[in-house]
Amino acid sequence: MSATTGGASGPPPPSSSPSAAIRLVNLDLNLLLSLRALLTERNVTRAAAALGLSQPAVSAALARLRRHFGDELLTRIGNHYELTPLAVRLVDRTENAVAGVERVFSAAPDFDPAATTREFTLLVSDYATAVLGPPLAAALAERAPEARLRLRPHTPEDVSGADERLRGVDGLLIPHGFVDDLPYLDLYEDRWVLLVARDNPRVGATVTLDDLATLPWVTIYHRPTAFTAAAQQLRAHGIEPHPQVVVESFLPVPELVAGTDRVGLLQGRLAARLRPEDGVRVVPCPFDAAPLVEAMWWHPMYDGDPAHRWLRALLAEVGAALPTIAAVDGGPQAE
């Protein structure tokens, strides 16, 4: 396992000008909790119940927030409320801000995993959840029984804005090739394989690059800023996959390939779990698909946090204990 800071000093610190300090001093941080509840519930009564406050108190908080932002934040549409465009932009920022405040005030010079009630939050794909989630949850339950693990699905926006998003969570689990200039820890390796339907008449024991250019595909994301590394390598060979179905996660790929003439790329660790009744088979990639190295990425502000260091060590241990994957008889198999 390896860790590195990526060689960057990170973004410049926030402004420390007197005017910025005055604005912060004049703000009531309780408004942040009210803002989160209002953005989540989109209803004053439900927000008050979630906060354990009276409805007039939350109505007063909403009025103050409207004055501060110069925006309605919640607008009535028929018999319900909708978020304004500004409020929509504030949803993730508010969640990250609350998480950051909680982390500031829960910080301690020492960390005792057996006694902690901390919630650890990781941004993950369904692939990482399936592979690393169960052993990580088991290890956490054993070593830190009062702690909580929150696995939140990451989005392309989380990845493209990782430097900002990682201020409010413990880490992002994603392979190399998408995030730069942030600290990371390599967890485990995997490889890409091709899936075809077991009864696909257009594919024999192997496929060629020409086959991949003509067969319909199940692709992941398929956006200019969101893709799999293997798909990028395929494009480097001059092959542009024809996406017949596009999904935002990996687990549905086998079902979308089964019984069709589609082809899809899948990680070997997921393919190793396939059963004969799933109706798909693995064929070797006709191009040199570089190994996938899954890593944890985090914001430099957590480098010295004792709880975060403990979590990183636990992730490294769990990742190292995963079985290796080898290609056997044309298909991946756990050793």
* Residues near 113 by beta carbon (within 8 Å), at least 6 away in sequence: 143, 144, 147, 310
Rounded to two decimals, what is the model's pTM? Answer: 0.72
Per-residue model confidence as pLDDT tens digits over 77-86: 888 889 999 9
Percent of the chain clearing pLDDT 70 (strictly above): 84
- Residue 43 backbone phi and psi in degrees, to 5: -165, 130
- Whole-angstrom Cα distance, residue 227 to residue 157? 13
* Residues near 70 by beta carbon (within 8 Å), at least 6 away in sequence: none
- Whole-angstrom Cα distance, residue 107 to residue 119? 12
Of residues 74 and 10, more confidently modeled? 74
**Cβ atoms of residues 207 and 263 within 8 Å:** yes
Q: Is the pLDDT of residue 207 over 80?
A: yes
Q: Is the pLDDT of residue 333 over 80?
A: no
Closest CA to 318 of 134, 70, 103, 48: 134
Q: If you average pLDDT over residues 23-40, what whole number do you get?
A: 80
Q: If you average pLDDT over residues 259-277, what whole number do you get?
A: 93
Per-residue model confidence as pLDDT tens digits over 144-175: 999 999 999 998 888 888 988 898 899 999 99
